[in-house]
Amino acid sequence: MRDFAEGFVERTELVAQIRIPEEIDELPPDMQRAVLRVVQEALPNVHRHAGASHVSVNARTVSRYLAVGIRDNGHGMATSARPDGAIRFGGDLRIRPSRSGTGIVTMVPAPSAGRAPLPAGHCGCRDRPRRTAGAFTEV
């Protein structure tokens, strides 16, 4: 995921902030692939359709979840959507359009000893991402 995001930004004129910790590499390969697919779809959409000049990709573990947030400063989308890609792992994916850009948050349960994932579609997270100092923050 890190290599894709950094490579994509190098090939485009987007100004990017990419924060993807090394611990992501310790997740099961199928989980890494599922989250990578979200990033692989979102970044080209930012470049082709959003008219954005800036994008951020932030990944981290929050409680028992891997949270990946993608935020741009483009013109936003016409409607909100909720694809089911993260549902496979008992997670959630939300797209939040606005006039000042679009935010995407995907959360999937990170493997941890003795803890079962929540039911599909219930990520155990707050319903909305929040903006902090112009950056997209997963909650």
pLDDT tens digits, 7-42: 998 999 899 999 998 888 888 888 888 888 888 988
CATH number at residue 83: 3.30.565.10
C-alpha 14/C-alpha 95 separation (Å) is: 20
At residue 25, the pLDDT reads: 86
**Residue position matching structure tokens 């989308």:** 77
Residues with Cβ within 8 Å of residue 132, at least 6 apart in sequence? none
Whole-number percent of the chain with pLDDT over 90? 19
Per mean pLDDT, which range of 38-42, 70-74, 125-129 is the poorest?
Answer: 125-129
At residue 29, the pLDDT reads: 87
What value does the mean pLDDT take over residues 48-74? Answer: 90
Q: pTM value?
A: 0.72
Helix (H, G, I), strand (E, B) or coil at 2: helix
Residue 116: pLDDT band with limits 50, 70, 90: very low
Residue type, 135: A
Tell me: pLDDT of 134 over 50: no
Number of structural domains (the chain) is 1
Q: Which domain does 54 fall in, by range?
A: 2-137
Helix (H, G, I), strand (E, B) or coil at 119: coil
Contact 69, 105 (CB under 8 A): yes
Residue type, 123: C
